[in-house]
Structure 1
Amino acid sequence: MLIDGLQCGHFTREVFAELRRADVGAVTVTCGFWEGTVESLDALARWRDLVAANSDLVAIATTAEEIVATAAAGRTAIVLGYQNSNLLEGRIRFVEIFAELGVRVIQLTYNNQNELGGSCYEPNDAGLARFGREVILEMNRAGILVDLSHVGNRTTLDAIECSQKPVAVTHANPDSLFQHKRNKTDDVLKALAERGGVLGCATYRNITGDHYSSSLRSWCEMVAKTVDIIGIDHVAIGTDRSHNFTKPDYDWMRMGRWTRSVDFGAGSAARPGKAPPPSWFTEVCHLGLLPGGLRVVGFAPDEVEKITSGNWLRLYSEVFASGRSAVPAKAEFVQADPVLALS
């Protein structure tokens, strides 16, 4: 079984069939980037319909046990996630509500600083905000994984320290192997590992580089170097593969509603559009090549298992288990909303 910590795009039955061909047991999907609460609920509704229409191939999973059972039944488990915290619209109580609707991964920030903390693209990262700390603790309680992939390095370190459960960088690479604002410095990655977290190594060319995208062996060598930095128990796969995206989709990802100007996201003026996929990963089913590629560069069978599924399953087991039914202990979480009190 293989687990991919992050994919995005427009999923179809054909994509699901390709995931099955590659023996992908689970994939975290992107339900939204800049969308607010209602739009995010719409996205969940669409995902429920899509999964129901393809129930012979996929099923939504909310626990590690459900992932294992779904894969054992010959289907791919869908883990619902968001690449931003806009879905909360500043409301701490919405964390629990989205958890009850099946959401299991939320990234604190996308490409811009927000109410929770700093993004990797901001020139100044002020660190985790007070609201960010409250959201992280609520996510811990609700069983939602804290994703720090697009988060600034200082905010990332603050979040690692704040969280009572291990956190993840679901789709990025070491900055020391390919320098990019989206990648993480070694000190950040070591802090992540020290607290039990996991890095999902990405295949997205803009943050992987042409060399590590040139062949399956080259990409697996990047994974091996990442293991040298943070250890075998903290490295996994998070391809950041997109499905059926066109220019309007990339414009939305990169510019949302926040700018009239052109923004290239992880790209550049020299590479403004869709980045070419790695030469070995031109089809979704090529994910099935990864176990063999990892063995070729020297990983033992038990190490391949950790990278391809075991490390994610361990993290999901620790994080997705929650006290969602418990009433929050802090008094400020249960006091009356002043707006409601006046009505």
Structure 2
Amino acid sequence: MKQPNEIIIDALELSNWDREFVHLLQKGGVTCVHACCGLWENARETLHNIGQWHRFFQENDDLIMQVFQGSDILKAKQEGKIGVILGTQNTSALEDELSFVSVFNQLGLKVMQLTYNNQNLIGSSCYEERDSGLSRYGKLVVQEMNRVGMVVDLSHVGEQTSLDAIAVSERPVAITHANPNWIYPTKRNKSPEVLRALKDNGGVLGLCAYPHLLNGKDTTLEEFCSMIIRTVDFMGIDQVGLGTDLTLNMSTDFLHWMRMGRWTHDVDYGAGSKENPSWPEWPSWFRTPKDFPNIAKGLMEQGMTGEDVSKVMGGNWLRFFTEGFKDKKEAEKCAYPM
């Protein structure tokens, strides 16, 4: 049986990138990945991370290329390379400078999550006891992201802040890596209200294979594909993709830093001990990027058509990113005058 996986796009991975990892992506037929290059970092630290990525692109230009616009994804496919979209899972890089949106956009930071796991200047995370909604500064940030062609990501964002951001945004937004909370109840997964608003906004949801957002390592491929089909029934076939949140070859020290940030010490992420967090064990059907074809095969075995499988595996994200990222030259014209 032919697997309709010509375009595979993963809307979020937080893995340790090296040439071996890129080869695993190639074995899985992956076309493009949104790679996280910032969590808690300020502007200076984020610039450092982007600089490291630029060096990685230069040293591995036979395998990968940076994506600035949707057409770059197809160009990468044609050249046999992996397209990489840089993004952050927080807006801490902006600090309190609205103009930094344009600056980071021109450096190729094309996706920015409004909040990570803590309250920030923009709004609330999904772990806050009280979500006060999108701040005045947050509204300006969303509007500026719309203007320059940077995608608004709501994956870790709180309920009210998410609803506010969708209402303010004049362009479709994304939830790059989360699941419906009526299927897998966690604070990180999304309510029917948020996903209905996302649907009405024209946004795309990336369904997530991270074990803590499912039933752990024992989640079967059949269960995961069933979730995809149920979500398609709710959202529509054109608004569902994948965002695995794969965390391959990451250290435990990084996990502590990722969980705790600069000050968090008592948040229960529903993932074991708060004092000694550990990376989860992944289900047998998805442990490295070379396992992406398993998902396509599983969807087809549950009766999804080849055309629809192609949309979920990457076609929907290709359309969304092509429409969401302005042409690089057009984005440069949007820069603030000196």
Matched, 1:65 2:71: yes
Asked whether the equivalents of residues 21 and 288 of structure 1 are also in contact (C-alpha less than 8 Å), the reply is no
> How far apart, CA to CA, are the structure 2 residues paired with 1:283 and 1:112?
29
User: Residue 42 of structure 1 corresponds to which residue in structure 2?
Assistant: 48
> How far apart, CA to CA, are the structure 1 residues paired with 2:42 and 2:270?
23
Matched, 1:170 2:176: yes
Q: 1:17 aligns with which of 20, 23, 43?
A: 23
Q: 1:281 aligns with which of 280, 286, 304?
A: 286
> How far apart, CA to CA, are the structure 2 residues paired with 1:326 and 1:106?
20
State the one-letter code of the partner of 2:292. L
User: Residue 267 of structure 1 corresponds to which residue in structure 2?
Assistant: 271
Q: 1:307 aligns with which of 312, 317, 327?
A: 312
> How far apart, CA to CA, are the structure 1 residues paired with 2:244 and 2:22?
16
Asked whether the equivalents of residues 167 and 197 of structure 1 are also in contact (C-alpha less than 8 Å), the reply is yes
Asked whether the equivalents of residues 30 and 82 of structure 1 are also in contact (C-alpha less than 8 Å), the reply is yes
TM-score (norm 2): 0.93
State the one-letter code of the partner of 1:19. L
How many angstroms does 1:71 deviate by?
1.2
User: Residue 100 of structure 1 corresponds to which residue in structure 2?
Assistant: 106
User: Residue 205 of structure 2 corresponds to which residue in structure 1?
Assistant: 199
Asked whether the equivalents of residues 186 and 213 of structure 2 are also in contact (C-alpha less than 8 Å), the reply is yes
Asked whether the equivalents of residues 216 and 282 of structure 2 are also in contact (C-alpha less than 8 Å), the reply is no
User: Residue 340 of structure 1 corresponds to which residue in structure 2?
Assistant: none
User: Residue 324 of structure 1 corresponds to which residue in structure 2?
Assistant: 331
User: 5 Å matches for 1:108-119?
Assistant: 108-119=114-125
> How far apart, CA to CA, are the structure 1 residues paired with 2:49 and 2:270?
24
4+ runs of 1 displaced by more than 4 Å? none
Number of equivalent positions: 329
> CA 1:290–1:72 in 2, change beyond 3 Å: closer, same or farther?
farther
Structure 2: give runs of 5+ residues left out of the alignment. 1-6
Asked whether the equivalents of residues 32 and 84 of structure 2 are also in contact (C-alpha less than 8 Å), the reply is yes
The percentage of counterpart residues that share the same residue type is 40
How many angstroms does 1:269 deviate by?
2.5
User: Residue 238 of structure 2 corresponds to which residue in structure 1?
Assistant: 233
How many angstroms does 1:265 deviate by?
3.6
User: Residue 249 of structure 1 corresponds to which residue in structure 2?
Assistant: 254
> How far apart, CA to CA, are the structure 2 residues paired with 1:232 and 1:69?
25
> How far apart, CA to CA, are the structure 2 residues paired with 1:30 and 1:301?
30
TM-score (norm 1): 0.92
Structure 1: give runs of 5+ residues left out of the alignment. 337-343
> How far apart, CA to CA, are the structure 2 residues paired with 1:327 and 1:269?
46
> How far apart, CA to CA, are the structure 2 residues paired with 1:257 and 1:194?
36
How many angstroms does 1:284 deviate by?
2.4
Higher relative contact order (CA 8 A, sep 6+): 2
State the one-letter code of the partner of 1:157. L
* Cα deviation digits, residues 182-216 of structure 1 (max 9, x gap): 000011101101110000000001011238x5322
> How far apart, CA to CA, are the structure 1 residues paired with 2:42 and 2:144?
19
User: 5 Å matches for 1:106-185?
Assistant: 106-185=112-191
> How far apart, CA to CA, are the structure 2 residues paired with 1:227 and 1:210?
22
Asked whether the equivalents of residues 202 and 240 of structure 1 are also in contact (C-alpha less than 8 Å), the reply is yes
> How far apart, CA to CA, are the structure 1 residues paired with 2:129 and 2:268?
16
How many angstroms does 1:288 deviate by?
2.5
How many angstroms does 1:217 deviate by?
2.0
State the one-letter code of the partner of 2:245. D
- What root-mean-square deviation, in Å, do the aligned CA atoms of Structure 1 and Structure 2 show? 1.8
Asked whether the equivalents of residues 9 and 33 of structure 2 are also in contact (C-alpha less than 8 Å), the reply is yes
How many angstroms does 1:112 deviate by?
0.4
SS at 2:119 equivalent? coil
